[in-house]
Chains A and B, each alone.
Chain A
Amino acid sequence: MNDEMHAVGEGPRHEVTLDEGAAGATVPAGRVVESEFASVAVRLDEQGNSVRLRVEDLRSGRVRFLDALELETVVWLEDGHLTQLLDPSHERWRG
């Protein structure tokens, strides 16, 4: 697991390969989901006893695993609550 724990801001270097016929890119950390505002890679991780989603913030190298119940919770988050989480001072830039 240690290879997943990059220091925030270090910024891992991934080799980007374009999938033939797909709009997105693929890096070792998975398929890239990105916009001009954020860039993350997602893939299913099967190292545990049940499958999880591994999400890596490609701009900082920070990694989060989300299990099935956590993902279901995200799906059911009220929009207002999700919007609160998008406030940059909510967690990451709390000050």
Chain B
Amino acid sequence: MTALVPSPAEVVEGESRYDRLIQPARVHGTLYTDPSIFAEELRKIWHKTWVFVGHESEVPEPNDYVRKQLADQDVVMTRDKDGEVHLLINRCAHRGLQVCDDKAGNSSSFRCPYHGWTYRNTGELLGYPYNKGYGGKNKLELGMGKVARVASYQGFVFGSLAQEGPSLEEHLGAAKGEIDRLVGLSPEGKVSLDAGWLRHQTKANWKFLAENETDGYHPQFVHGSIFGVAGSPIGALYSDNSTAVTRALGDGHSENDLRPEFRTFDEPMRWFGTTPDKVPGYLASMAESYGEDAHRRTVEGAPHVMIFPNLFIAEIQVFNIQPVGVGECVQYSTAVQFAGGHELNMRMVSQSIGSVGPAGMLLADDTEMYERNQRGVEMADPEWLDVRRGLVRETVDEDGFTIGAATDETAMRGFWSHYKSLMEADA
């Protein structure tokens, strides 16, 4: 048969490679399997845009540090003696050795074990042994590498390896409001992510995760077992009868907004799967801090938001997704902890362990889907993934955001639209 339609990999004059691969109702399978596309993603997305790295609460004291990932870069998040947070590239300026090896520590300076070159925890080189070989002290204009731009929002620390680009607040856009919503459930208006991170190695392309986080179509199927065992009312929120909406927040961010359902019930803590009598101390603290508005906050609950490209806030827990290769990524997860919310915090840790812990019943199911998805797209035919669900009933809300029903693929289409714009930009 003569091919009348060019293969998706072929570039046609006047069209970008991504015009062919990313279409309004379908995306091509090679986006998840082609190593050259992954290499381009590193350059145009992971080394350029703002990427979530960690939280300020992980380095609470001056001179604390933790090892983190920023895509393929091993990064040391430090807090200097003056309290400022830095993201250093974990590489000695002398021979390129990895300087820090421990996962975390407290030190004002880092000494490379190879030849003793020593750096401040701001990355500045403060000395090297036997200085006569360099003509004396302070003769070298070298230091550890730094993530070009570091900024935080509500304690969430992001890094961008590009010297220039949109500010963090511009990047977050409407997603800022979702982070504010989370923080607004703390009686003290502050969250910490210091309960410890679980590390889930996943043999799948990172985009399967980013798309799945706000896919309201899968929960009833993939998570039927945990909903059944826990007697959770959450499953019913992801059905065609639900008043919940899927919202594309722009810039690749998206959410499953379950508030319409929770407002109908008007029951505080329903979002958390519990009742007020189980957490009276927390609700009293919320009422003390926020007065009448405490009721609305505790009825509407925490956000379910995917912040492009790698921060997923899933009500009670946070995921940090980092790519490893075209067919592999790591999901780091931790329980959210509310300042002043001790009674709820213990429950959030145990719920997180139950859902994403080593024997947890939620993430293991998702990860099984991710890995089978990766194996599936490596097959030749059909070449495309369908993302049209809900196109027939999409609308625009009062804030100008595209919304679909609870089970629609509105969020995926928003993701791909932003992804395409980044991949088509000059490197």
Bound: A15/B128 CA distance, A: 33
- B127 & A86 in contact (Cβ 8 Å cutoff): yes
Interchain nearest-CB distance for A13 vs B (Å)? 22
A35 near B: Cβ within 8 Å? yes
Instruction: List the A residue with the shortest CB-CB distance to B102.
Output: A36
Interface residues of B in 85-138 (CB under 8 A from A): 100-102, 105-111, 116-118, 120, 126-133, 137
A83 near B: Cβ within 8 Å? yes
Which single member of A37, A38, A82, A87 contacts B127 (CB below 8 Å)? A87
- A37 & B111 in contact (Cβ 8 Å cutoff): yes
Instruction: List the A residue with the shortest CB-CB distance to B105.
Output: A35
- A88 & B116 in contact (Cβ 8 Å cutoff): yes
- B111 & A88 in contact (Cβ 8 Å cutoff): yes
B81 near A: Cβ within 8 Å? yes
Interchain nearest-CB distance for B144 vs A (Å)? 14
Q: Given that A86-B127, A87-B126, A88-B128 are known contacts, is A37 also in contact with B110, CB under 8 Å in the complex?
A: yes
Interchain nearest-CB distance for B194 vs A (Å)? 15
A46 near B: Cβ within 8 Å? no
- B109 & A86 in contact (Cβ 8 Å cutoff): yes
Q: Which B residues touch A35, using CB under 8 A?
A: 102, 105-107
Q: Which A residues touch B116, using CB under 8 A?
A: 88, 93
- B111 & A95 in contact (Cβ 8 Å cutoff): no
Interchain nearest-CB distance for A38 vs B (Å)? 8
Bound: A16/B132 CA distance, A: 39
Bound: A38/B110 CA distance, A: 10
Q: Which B residues touch A86, using CB under 8 A?
A: 108-109, 118, 126-127
Instruction: List the B residue with the shortest CB-CB distance to A83.
Output: B126
We find that the number of chain B residues with CB closer than 8 angstroms to chain A is: 24
User: Mostly helix, strand, loop or mixed at chain A's interface?
Assistant: loop
Instruction: List the B residue with the shortest CB-CB distance to A37.
Output: B111
Which single member of B102, B106, B127 contacts A88 (CB below 8 Å)? B127
Interface residues of A in 36-95 (CB under 8 A from B): 36-38, 79, 82-83, 86-90, 92-95
- B120 & A95 in contact (Cβ 8 Å cutoff): no
Bound: A73/B127 CA distance, A: 23
- A89 & B127 in contact (Cβ 8 Å cutoff): yes
Which single member of B106, B108, B110, B129 contacts A93 (CB below 8 Å)? B129
Which single member of B81, B100, B101, B107 contacts A79 (CB below 8 Å)? B81
- A95 & B126 in contact (Cβ 8 Å cutoff): no
Interchain nearest-CB distance for A42 vs B (Å)? 15
Q: Which B residues touch A38, using CB under 8 A?
A: 111
Q: Which B residues touch A79, using CB under 8 A?
A: 81
Instruction: List the A residue with the shortest CB-CB distance to B134.
Output: A89
Interchain nearest-CB distance for B127 vs A (Å)? 3
- B137 & A93 in contact (Cβ 8 Å cutoff): no
Bound: A38/B105 CA distance, A: 11
Q: Given that A87-B127, A88-B118, A88-B128 are known contacts, is A95 also in contact with B110, CB under 8 Å in the complex?
A: no
Which single member of B101, B110, B118 contacts A87 (CB below 8 Å)? B118
Q: Which A residues touch B137, using CB under 8 A?
A: 87, 89
Bound: A35/B111 CA distance, A: 11
Interface residues of A in 12-47 (CB under 8 A from B): 35-38
- A89 & B107 in contact (Cβ 8 Å cutoff): no
- B130 & A94 in contact (Cβ 8 Å cutoff): yes
- B127 & A36 in contact (Cβ 8 Å cutoff): no
Interface residues of B in 250-305 (CB under 8 A from A): none
Interchain nearest-CB distance for B126 vs A (Å)? 6
Q: Which B residues touch A82, using CB under 8 A?
A: 108
Interchain nearest-CB distance for A12 vs B (Å)? 21
- A89 & B130 in contact (Cβ 8 Å cutoff): yes
Instruction: List the A residue with the shortest CB-CB distance to B133.
Output: A95
Interface 1/0 per residue, B130-161 and A, CB below 8 Å? 11110001000000000000000000000000
Q: B-side interface residues toward A, CB under 8 Å? A: 81, 100-102, 105-111, 116-118, 120, 126-133, 137
* Given A79-B81, A88-B129, A89-B129, 14 more pairs with CB closer than 8 A: A36-B107, A37-B110, A37-B111, A87-B126, A87-B137, A88-B111, A88-B116, A88-B127, A88-B128, A89-B130, A90-B127, A94-B131, A95-B129, A95-B132
Provide 5 A-B residue pairs closer than 8 Å at the C-beta atoms, listed in order of the A residue. A36-B107, A38-B111, A83-B120, A86-B109, A92-B129
Q: A-side interface residues toward B, CB under 8 Å? A: 35-38, 79, 82-83, 86-90, 92-95
Nearest 9 interchain pairs by C-beta? A87-B127, A93-B129, A95-B130, A89-B131, A36-B102, A88-B129, A35-B105, A88-B116, A37-B111
